[in-house]
Amino acid sequence: MAERLTIQIKDNDNVVVAVHDLPAGTKTESGVVTRDPIPQAHKIALVDIPAGGEVIRYGVVLGYAKNDIPAGSWINEHMLDLPESPALTDMPWGTDIKTPDQLPTPPRTTWMGYRNKVGPAGTRNLLGIVTTVQCAAGVVKVAVERIKKELLPKYPNVDGVVAITHPYGCGVAINAPLAYIPIRAITNVIRHPNFGGEVMVVGLGCEKLTYDRVLPPEDINPENCLTLQDWKGHDAMMQAILDMAEKKLQKLNLRHREELPLSELLIGMQCGGSDAFSGITANPSAGYAADMLVKGGATVMFSEVTEVRDGVPMLAARCVSAEVRDKLAAEMKWYDDYLAEGGVDRDANPTPGNKKGGLANIVEKAMGSIAKSGTSPIVEVLSPAEKPSKHGLIFAATPASDIVCGPSQVASGIGLQVFMTGRGTPYGLDVAPVIKVCSRNEMKEQWFDLIDISAGHVATGEATIADVGTEIFNLILDVASGTKEPYSDQYGFHNDMCIFNPAPIT
């Protein structure tokens, strides 16, 4: 079989994507001959496109040609004018709803997790120590290292200890209208499923984010809350933290994994460092795994507002009710206004790496990003850091920034995240394991011991989306069950907890 040179997504696309670097003069499968050297993942014009003409990929208008583009030309980010955002009013809903029998059947329907009294089960058994203010971060980080060395070996059923530090808590307008977003995030992280219901919060003593803003009255007591300013000197302060931690570890050590249905599993989908293959290989494969999870009863969350904004009518068509559609539109409008107030629009999103990887603008990036949601009906839409109330596929509105989206999904309770990348990133989370899926085999060869799964074989034709999607599904269950460990956890590559805070800093 001849080597695949290009990929066309839809029959009406007037561009294809180069599978590998192609020299000028290459005759492609369509018969078009390249006029320029074409970098891997970049677009080639299939026909002559006049100035002002539509450039179409995924069956969607990515933009309008600034100048005439002859067939065979390399099309890059400098050659397109951005189309208008899709309207948010009167979007049809429920017109693209798949029934369970139309979704792929999961090969497994149970996993081994830590059952909780409320909410989804844990994929890990962790002691989480959450700060109320950045001022306490240094102390807690040092204390956690001591806990790991001095206490954790005595409690073999506890997987680890994590310090949840963040830049919020003081020097902020704590009563500002939008302060509820970071406050909700911290409140929900304290109750993360991987912490087994054990609450341990450390404050300084003079911050604005007081215990009563993140805990119910019954939990505000010396068993759960420790204020650094109450202790005399370093040694007393450290010993108090270690003593509190040991009491929590004793309780957590009693927990054991048990066989659970997929309905006890909450998974997050995210992508970062995307390229033009992300929407062809990695994201659709993750979407296939998402459909398997949903059919099996699990809950799957996808996010990144700017990276779905140009496909919002497609998402509305998958919403199960007008109420869900309206919440989706409201979250999109909120973010449109948020960006406008900052003097930018949605096309501020793509990075230099995205563009080097063949993504011309945010429209093209969004079309690929949406693929990670699969095809299941959307049963709920969440505001940033909200917890889900339903099982199934959920859109959780968050910024697209990797290091803000991840913590937002953690606050919503994910037990594991699947992260797709084209350019490569060592990103990870300490609260929940992160599985890395790359879009190109070259990326896997470059970072052979950093990327967990390559979806690049889909681009070359050596594997199908179903093949890689099933591989992702099985690894999700293995990692969630604790039988396999992704590379990010093996190396301890864990990003900071960057809480989304649109409220003023004073």
pLDDT of the residue at 40? 95
| CATH number for the domain that contains residue 32 | 2.30.130.110
CA dihedral 407, 411, 417, 419 (to 10 degrees): -30
DSSP string, 398-461: --S-HHHHHHHHHHTT-SEEEEEESS------SSS-EEEEES-HHHHHHTTTT-SEE-HHHHHT
Which amino acid is present at 202?
V
- Closest by CA to 263, choosing from 73, 415, 385, is 415
Residue 94 CA to residue 91 CA, distance in Å, equals 10
Segments of 239-348 assigned E as strands: 258-261, 266-271, 299-302
Same domain, 382 and 426: yes
pLDDT of the residue at 143? 98
DSSP string, 443-499: HHHHTTTT-SEE-HHHHHTSS-HHHHHHHHHHHHHHHHTTS---HHHHHT-------
Residue 455 CA to residue 468 CA, distance in Å, equals 6
Q: Which residues of the chain have pLDDT under 50?
A: none
Q: How many other CB atoms sit within 10 Å of the CB of residue 236?
A: 10
Note whether residue 414 is domain-resident.
yes
**What domain range includes position 1?**
1-81
CA dihedral 173, 167, 139, 144 (to 10 degrees): 130
Note whether residue 500 is domain-resident.
no
Residue 92 CA to residue 374 CA, distance in Å, equals 19
Q: How many other CB atoms sit within 10 Å of the CB of residue 503?
A: 19
Residue 201 CA to residue 224 CA, distance in Å, equals 6
Same domain, 290 and 178: no
Note whether residue 111 is domain-resident.
no
Classify strands 160-164 and 258-261 as parallel, antiparallel or unpaired: unpaired
Residue 398 CA to residue 185 CA, distance in Å, equals 11
* Residue entry with tokens 């920034």: 401
Specify burial of residue 504 (Cβ count, 10 A radius: 0-12, 13-18, 19+).
exposed
Same domain, 39 and 4: yes
Note whether residue 257 is domain-resident.
no
By the 8 A CB rule, do 162 and 129 touch? yes
Note whether residue 106 is domain-resident.
no
Interior angle at CA 456, CA 102 and CA 356, nearest 5: 115
Same domain, 272 and 239: no
Note whether residue 181 is domain-resident.
yes
H or E stretch including 180?
helix 180-190
Same domain, 211 and 327: no
pLDDT of the residue at 3? 86
- Closest by CA to 186, choosing from 407, 415, 433, is 407
- Structural domain count, the chain: 3
End-of-domain residue from the set 220, 252, 284: 252
pLDDT of the residue at 1? 57
Same domain, 245 and 332: no
* Residue entry with tokens 């699947």: 418
Same domain, 330 and 461: yes
End-of-domain residue from the set 229, 252, 275: 252
The predicted model scores a pTM of 0.96
Structure tokens at 127: 């002691």
Same domain, 138 and 220: yes
Note whether residue 107 is domain-resident.
no
Same domain, 348 and 238: no
Residue 305 CA to residue 331 CA, distance in Å, equals 8
Calculate the CA 143 to chain-centre distance: 29
* Residue entry with tokens 């699990």: 298
Residue 389 CA to residue 387 CA, distance in Å, equals 7
pLDDT digits over 489-501, tens only? 999 999 999 999 9
Same domain, 271 and 395: yes
Note whether residue 483 is domain-resident.
yes
Residue 359 CA to residue 76 CA, distance in Å, equals 8
Same domain, 71 and 195: no
Same domain, 248 and 270: no
Order of strands across the sheet that contains 43-45: 6-7, 15-18, 43-45, 74-75
